Amino acid sequence: MSTTAQAHDWSAAQYLKFEDERTQPARDLLARILLQAPKKIVDLGCGPGNSTAVLESRYPDAHLIGIDSSPDMIRKAKVTLPHREFTVLDLESYSPPDSVDLFYSNAVFQWLKKDERFEIVKRLMQTQSSGGVFALQVPDNLSEPSHVLMRETAENGPWAATLAKVGRDTFQTAQEIYDQLKPVSSRVDIFHTSYYHALESHEAIIEWVKGTGLRPYLDPLGPEEKKSFLREYLKRLQGAYPVSVDGRVLLRYPRLFVVAVKT
């Protein structure tokens, strides 16, 4: 779930604090893939192996490989699925040694530069035989309060200069994705889902985004700055997300899915 676009290693333990919620989109993406018996599958940005385990449950006989640029994620994946092949690699330079029936990516491509994302997808699809599938899922949450307030906190504090260039590019629209992939695909399916995660508290929202979207904002800061940033961010979250009848906080989390079949 990471690429060389991130300067530091990712924490598998932090990511897995919400393992079930993070894995559900991986299951939903897999449900839209029509391949019956792919021989070779590559999990691009496999993270700690949770998405790889989902693939294995459906395709137990496939040659299944997971790659990720985070050494900590790969270490955890190897513990989770010791009988599978996992390697530290980044998407920008990855090239498969032979034809892959299914490229599968759960929440990775949002971290790449906008102009690189689908150039990589098309480059990898060119290595596939006709009928091969490329399936990806990404968060579509930059306009959600969790991320808008993250940016506002970064822009309005003593850390503003340090964090001036932090953030990720917006993702392509469905129309842009279709137009990029249709020339090399016999079919391009695009769908969008919003998940509503009932979290324990506003602090739990922070714990969620600490594993992914908040990382680039916190990593450049010193210990005291991090504490101050998180206090300010928490105040903003408390003003934006109401407390539910049971005391929990509902975090809306939209995601975009793409399944392309090679011509």
Contact call for residues 138 and 108 (beta carbons, < 8 A)? yes
Question: What's the pLDDT score for residue 148?
Answer: 97
pLDDT along the chain (263 residues), means of 10: 46 58 91 97 94 96 96 93 96 93 96 96 97 97 97 97 94 98 98 96 93 90 97 98 98 97 98
First to last CA, the chain: 27
State the pLDDT at residue 3: 45
Determine the distance from the C-alpha atom of residue 141 to the mean position of all C-alpha atoms in its chain, rounded to a whole number: 11
Nearest residue to 132 (alpha-carbon basis) of 60, 184, 176: 184
How far apart are the C-alpha atoms of 52 and 80, rounded to whole Å? 10
CB contact set of 117 (below 8 Å; sequence gap of 6+): 109, 171, 172
Q: Any alpha helices (H) in the chain, and if so which ranges?
A: 12-15, 19-31, 50-58, 71-80, 114-125, 145-155, 174-181, 202-210, 215-218, 223-240
d(CA 177, CA 213): 22
125 touches 134 (CB < 8 A): yes
pLDDT of residue 44: 98
Q: How far apart are CA 132 and CA 159, in angstroms?
A: 46
Domains of the chain, start order = 11-262 (3.40.50.150)
Residue 21 pLDDT: 84
C-alpha span between 27 and 43 (Å, rounded): 13
Rounded Cα distance, 99 and 128, in Å: 5
pLDDT digits (tens, 9 = 90+) for 27-77: 999 999 999 999 999 999 999 999 999 999 999 999 999 999 999 899 999
The answer to whether the beta carbons of residues 180 and 173 sit under 8 Å apart is: no
Q: Is 74 in a helix, a strand, or coil?
A: helix
pLDDT of residue 12: 47
Type and span of the H or E element at 6: none
Q: How far apart are CA 144 and CA 122, in angstroms?
A: 29
Instruction: Please say whether the beta carbons of 23 and 44 come within 8 A.
Output: no
Query: What pTM did the predictor assign?
Result: 0.91
pLDDT at 16: 52
Sign of CA dihedral 46, 48, 51, 52: positive
